[in-house]
Structure 1
């Protein structure tokens, strides 16, 4: 029944009144004899190496019988602690965990260990993993059937959410097959990256187009989560758009910008204003002359050739972001070089969208962890913008600190780089700093130095420059 038609049959059953989801899920893919045989083999005399190899590729979910799960956990404990495996030592561990009665006592353990071998351990382990994957597919299909029955659920969002779940299932299966890598194998991957980045002026990561930033970070590294944080109105969206624009102009990098606040048109307008240096308000109000109109057309012709992709979906979850990345790379046969998300606190979660009152700090932590996993799985840097707490406004000097990150604990832990934008919004009369003076404070850098980098912000056309434009090599971009 489960050979190839399980998802189709599930959907058909869900649309009938003959069987409930719970009843259907009771008909799960399983191989109890394979479970028994594998456990017996791992607990056999002289099977320590076999047990270690098998246990490293399995987990409790791969055993559907509760008794088998308990014995598997005990086997794993013995292997991890390098204790001899026998019926006696298994009984001791299970008894310490208070689960001996669930295994039908010592007799239940010895009976299971006497099970006949029905195949090679590696083959049996692979079989159990495949059964687990089928069970998870059934669960995802059941969720899909239930959610599809909710009229107000956007089918496009549902498709993207399910696609993300399926991708994570595939990735988790791939990860469980990974083992230790030799330095020779690792070196091949490292030097592949080195040669790949020779074209980006020596940076090992994805460059921002701001040499002063790239000199410190060596470009944003593959698999990294980068947090760019500031108070509202400081210009974090402008800096992020400057990065994606200049990186595309100078290094031909392919970037995706997820805007949870602005529309496609607003994002394009900001990029156009920054590129042409024409006041954004003048463009919006139509107060431009013929020369400026020609500049805008020229700017448009430049922008449409750049590999910049924009999503303006306001309510979006981490699985949907992941699904869009996967869809883009599959349909365009092009790997994105980096992703920018504006901003973290606006990302939805499946729980909150179904009315959950989940603690906000926990919710944000789950989102930041999800973004980090996407960055790692796809081996691309993800730059996520974030808000700061109000406390920073009351601090002398007003410079942000890591503790100012809103719902900061998990964000700070997950991020490989944390950078703050600091601007004097209302400089004192005696200050000799202009209104547009700014600093990029790299407060956390997991694999490199921290730094304070001076910048100039021109709000009329939403553009940042390095303070010393000549030495920073940005004149050609102004």
Structure 2
């Protein structure tokens, strides 16, 4: 029989005896008995049952020990469990280790073990939900001036999201064995990827090789001065990750081993149409300028149509809501993960997000709040979050235009909160700004010679080349990755291995 919450009437206040948390101790005992009779019961459960899901603490400890022995490939019976509970005071109150044998007495749990597991799980969630509700009511009753209702709503939503995902308080602590198992899974994923990276692919072999891909729960900052191509690189990564997800899924690869990710792109600067245009230009190979001006031929139009059809099934979701707050972004990201199972979030760009407003006019504090919020979001959803960021104008005052960590605009907390900081740099941008006078037919030979010398000595070595500078990386080394950049279609790609040049 399931005990449920009995709500008091308006006339009589509730007593401790009247309000009981949802539980079914008999179902817990029957389920444990089923496992002790047949260990295979635990292999195919409809839910991920944890020891903390059990209402009776003794049952939770018994289940924990069962999981430990099963991990060691041992047969679990009342006999093999007995040594672990001989000194357990709560077990003594139930009759000592003999209680383990009593659990297997009827064998009734074997008939509906899966249903019992689901019920134990659901009742645990209801208890967590009651805890969230009580906390929400208690905080809402506080009417002091320091209370911020919006932050309370955000906290309540976060708690509810965790309950909905079955994570809540009971899932916040991992044993070392669980953490070590995740490490092994990541190593196996990297081994089987073929590209020797364990995270979500960027679609760029050189960048994957340097960072190991985009890792779960990481906050990555992609920064650069205007004109460097940071949005182009972000859209390239978004497309490549989503395309790899679709390809691996079509090949029958299970989600845990899929090297791509369903991607959410929060575009606070460009509209969804502009972003889609960029991606279609990248994939069709048509010049963005020609597309805007309508200067495309029939063949190019057919290429554009094919790219459009191919992109329709891409698991890439664009949110172009302007003026988003960090709380609003987190709400939308949670909703997208619930509905679509997104595995990568991209934000373009960080400085266009708004904080809670509690910092007043202090923009540095607001940016700090936003960067912390993005890192919290990455950990909460267990996905990589790639956020674009501006750089200060200090870069332009130096002879060497390569960006540094100190150039991150408005807050040092961006550098502190980020797991990886990437800078996009194109020397070509600055070389083009130093272009000498373009020669005309009437110009003297010196003008032609000067322009030709500039093309050969300055422009040619850096043309169509970009650098992604890994300025900070918690998981590995820093350094620079060289990429090819086609400005007319805003596409980054790996540089061809020059060692093969001239080989047919």
Are positions 1:412 and 2:415 aligned together? yes
1:30–1:407 Cα change, 3 Å:
farther
Contact kept in structure 1, 2:264 and 2:336, CA below 8 Å: no
CA distance in 2, matches of 1:328, 1:128: 23
Match of 1:445 in 2: 473
SS at match of 1:187: helix
Q: Deviations over 1:164-214 (max 9, x none)?
A: 443323478966546764432223333344455666434211110000000
Instruction: Give the secondary structure class of the aligned counterpart of 1:350.
Output: coil
Looking at structure 2, the residues matched to 286 and 141 of structure 1 have their Cα atoms a distance apart, in angstroms, of 61
- Alpha-carbon distance in structure 2 between the residues aligned to 1:379 and 1:459: 34
| Residues 127-142 of structure 1 mapped to structure 2, 5 A cutoff | 134-137=134-137, 139=139
Q: 400, 404, 414: which is aligned to 1:401? A: 404
Structure-1 separation of matches of 2:338 and 2:405? 37
Which of the numbers 189, 209, 213 marks the counterpart of 1:215? 209
Q: Alpha-carbon deviation of 1:162?
A: 8.2
2:325 maps to 317
Instruction: Report matched runs for 1:460-471 at 5 Å.
Output: 460-468=488-496
In structure 2, the CA distance between the partners of 1:30 and 1:402, relative to structure 1 (3 Å rule), is farther
CA deviations over 1:296-349 (Å, ceiling 9, x no partner): 0000011112111111011111222221122122233xx212110000000012
SS for the counterpart of 1:250 is helix
Q: Which structure 2 residues correspond to residues 212-361 of structure 1 after superposition, within 5 A?
A: 212-252=206-246, 253=260, 254-332=262-340, 335-351=341-357, 357-361=360-364
Q: CA deviation at 1:439?
A: 0.7
Q: CA offsets per residue over residues 264-298 of structure 1, 9 Å max, x none?
A: 11010000000011011211121111001100000
Sort the Cα spacing of 1:301 and 1:175 in 2 relative to 1 into closer, same or farther, 3 A: same
Q: Does 1:166 align with 2:172?
A: no
Q: What secondary structure does 1:453 align onto? A: strand
Aligned mates of 1:471, 1:301 — CA distance in 2: 37
- Residue 188 of structure 1 is matched in structure 2 by 181
In structure 1, distance between residues paired with 2:320 and 2:128: 42
Q: 1:357 to 1:348 in 2, by over 3 A?
A: same
Match of 1:85 in 2: none
| Cα distance change on mapping 1:223 and 1:426 into 2, 3 Å | same
CA distance in 2, matches of 1:469, 1:247: 23
- 2:160 and 2:328 map into 1 onto residues whose CA distance is 16
- 1:426/1:435 contact within 8 Å kept: no
Gaps of 5+ in 2: 17-126, 144-149, 247-259, 435-453
Distance 1:241 1:131, change over 3 A: closer
Match of 2:370 in 1: 367
Higher mean C-alpha displacement, 312-321 vs 360-369: 312-321
Residue pairs, 1:140-151, within 5 angstroms: none
Match of 1:206 in 2: 200
Deviation track 1:413-463 (CA, whole Å, cap 9, x = no partner) reads: 100000001112221534253343321100000011112111222221111
With over 3 angstroms needed to count, the CA separation of the structure-2 counterparts of 1:166 and 1:195, relative to structure 1, is: farther
Q: Are the equivalent residues in 2 in contact too, given 1:208–1:219 (CA < 8 A)?
A: yes
Query: How many Å separate the matches in 1 of 2:271 and 2:412?
Result: 31
CA distance in structure 2 between the aligned counterparts of 1:364 and 1:30, rounded to whole angstroms? 48
Moved more, 253-262 or 412-421: 253-262
Check conservation: 1:316, 1:347, Cα contact below 8 A: yes
Equivalent-residue separation in structure 2 for 1:373 and 1:268 (angstroms): 29
The separation in 2 between residues aligned to 1:350 and 1:376, in whole angstroms, is: 20
Alignment correspondent of 2:39: none
1 CA distance for matches of 2:385 and 2:222?
A: 11
Partner residue of 1:392?
Answer: 395
The answer to whether the 8 Å contact 1:165/1:319 transfers is no
* Alpha-carbon distance in 2 for matches of 1:461, 1:141: 57
Provide, for residues 367-386 of structure 1, a one-character-per-residue CA deviation record: whole Å limited to 9, x for no partner.
00010011011110000000
Distance 1:388 1:276 in 2: 31
Would you say 1:459 and 2:453 are equivalent positions?
no
Q: Which structure 1 residue ranges, 5 or more long, are not aligned?
A: 10-28, 32-126, 144-157, 473-478
Say if 2:396 is the partner of 1:382.
no
